[in-house]
Amino acid sequence: MTVPVDEQVAILMRGTEYGDRQTRQNMEIELRARLKEGRPLRVYCGYDPTKPDLHVGHTITMRKLRQFQELGHDVTFLIGTYTSLIGDPSDKNKLRPILTPAQVEANAQTYAEQAFKILDRAATHVRYNADWLSKLTFADLIQIGSNFTLQQFLQRENFAKRFDVGDPIFLHETFYALMQAYDAVALDTDVQVGGTDQLWNIIVAGRKLQEVYGQRPQIGIITAILPGTDGVVKMSKSTGNHIGIFDPPHEMYGKVMSIPDEAMWLYYDLVTRFPVEEISRLKAAVTEGHMHPMDAKKRLAWEITEIYHSPNDAAAAAERFATVFQQRELPEDMPSLKLDGTGSIVDIMVQAQLVASKSEARRLIEQGGVKLDGERVDSVAFEVPDRAGILQVGRRKFVRLVTE
């Protein structure tokens, strides 16, 4: 049975954020008019494989795509194999490093499989924007660029900040918005979904270029941005405040439990399956003192872990969290590492895969985040003695050091 237009609008506009009331109102009016045509809308969102793993922050737009799927619309999951070669400057105040085609291809290999944790595999088109962007000629780029002014780009907050302090803005960074706008043209899309950092690319550049090519301008469904586990900065693997959707259950659960209390309601709103009424009830219970914030956060951690793993995994992660962090006991299933004489604490942390690099190991030591047998390691030059012990990094990672 077809869902009434007003109900579809209410579902699809939930959780959107445009920065001003008029833009939101315009997009809602256009969405309602397009839905009244009674056909499946062409909807897409693009994801640049600048890193090999997706995180929970990426799933906000995926959940919006899933809503479109459940309402019977035509959804494309676009992998930015060509836009990744530049890197989106929208949320950056400095130049992003340029990736090689080989790096992009390697990162893109598992993107669709990760997305199917949220999206309906059978109802999802997977496309790659290298299929059309790589075929554009220099003359094509000149033609596309002629529709925009430098002043328009300099009005963007991230470019304006760099311009004001004299930091360089490289010409190729302006190409990203043009390439993303051309994606909308190539897909002849009705709707593009994206975070608030994509608002200019979608609402200004994408709509403008579609009109140039004789298409109706797309509707922008702009979603809020999820802060990372620090509760402040946008979730990002590069800043280390991310929750990867392929993180092990106990690590995912522990990361959710580490977010500040004031940030957890945004997580409830953006990345859980709870209806609005249930979230409001939980929030009221905490506000009125009927529920401890820790209990609400446990429910959130269970929900997120169950989404990406299973109910059994969520239960095991909750039990482990209670054992390790609330009862201050060590996990029974920690991995072991055989010592071969004394060794550098930095080298052992890398060898035990407790950190990704020596620089990360040194940083954690300097921040007081490393313990041996419960005692803090104060020096990056510390030599681990040749004896059994428990090495702990942060609050969630343990390894049992053994000599035999």
Q: What is the CATH number of the domain that holds 300?
A: 1.10.240.10
For 206, the domain range is: 5-223
Boundary of a domain, candidates 205, 223, 241: 223
| pLDDT at residue 92 is higher than 70 | no
Give the CATH number for residue 372: 3.10.290.10
The neighbouring-strand residues paired with 397 are 393
How many DSSP H helices and E strands does the chain contain? 19, 12
| Locus of tokens 């009244």 | 36
pLDDT digits (tens, 9 = 90+) for 332-351: 778 888 888 878 899 999 98
pLDDT interval class at 93 (50, 70, 90)? very low
The number of distinct structural domains making up the chain is 3
- What confidence score (pLDDT) does residue 343 get? 85
- The separation between the first and the last C-alpha atoms of the chain, rounded to the nearest angstrom, is 66
Sequence-ordered list of residues with C-beta below 8 angstroms from that of 129, at least 6 positions apart, any chain:
46, 78, 79, 80, 81, 82, 83, 179, 183, 186
The answer on 211 and 171 residing in a single domain is: yes
Contact status, residue 45 vs residue 118, Cβ threshold 8 Å: no
What is the C-alpha to C-alpha distance for residues 193 and 199, in angstroms, rounded to an integer? 10
Q: Is residue 239 part of a domain?
A: no
Q: Select from 148, 146, 144 the least CA-distant residue to 136.
A: 144
Among 220, 264, 249, smallest CA distance to 61 is for 220
Q: pLDDT, tens digit, for every residue of 284-309? A: 988 888 888 888 999 999 999 999 99
3-state SS, residue 87: coil
Domain membership flag for residue 214 = yes
Question: DSSP E strands: which ranges in 122-265?
Answer: 124-128, 191-195, 219-223
Question: Nearest Cα to 271, choosing from 118, 133, 106?
Answer: 118
User: Where does residue 248 rank: exposed (0-12), middle (13-18), buried (19+ CB within 10 A)?
Assistant: middle
pLDDT band at 374 (very low <50, low <70, confident <90, very high): confident
Residue 94 has a pLDDT of 46
Domain co-membership, 176 together with 290: no
Same domain for 165 and 62: yes
Question: What amino acid occupies position 216?
Answer: R
Whether the predicted pLDDT of 19 surpasses 70: yes
**Is residue 83 located within the same domain as residue 114?**
yes
Indicate if 148 and 278 belong to the same structural domain: no
Q: Which of 229-233, 263-267, 366-370 has the highest mean pLDDT?
A: 263-267
Which domain-ending residue is among 299, 326, 353? 326
Residues 355 and 288 placed together within one structural domain of the fold: no
The CATH number linked to 79 is 3.40.50.620
Q: Above pLDDT 70, what percent of the chain?
A: 95
Distance CA 157, CA 161 (A): 6
Residue 328 vs residue 148, higher pLDDT: 148
pLDDT at 227 over 60: yes
DSSP letter assigned to residue 16: B
Indicate whether 266 and 314 sit together in one domain.
yes
341 and 322, same domain (yes or no):
no
Please give the mean pLDDT across all residues of the chain: 87
Q: 120 φ, ψ to 5°?
A: -80, 110
Query: Strands, DSSP E only, in 48-157?
Result: 74-79, 124-128
pTM: 0.74
Q: Report yes or no on 237 lying in a domain.
A: no
74 and 147 fall within a common domain: yes
Q: For residues 140 and 67, state if they share a domain.
A: yes
164/303 same-domain check: no
Domain assignment of residue 106, yes or no: yes
Q: 376 — phi, psi (to 5°)?
A: -65, 135
Residue 110 belongs to some domain of the structure: yes
Same domain, yes or no: 50 and 147: yes
CA atoms within a 13 Å half-sphere pointing along the CA-CB vector of 7? 6
In this predicted structure, what is the pLDDT of residue 291?
82
Tokens 């053994």 found at: 402
Closest among 97, 93, 89, 96 to 164, alpha carbons compared: 93
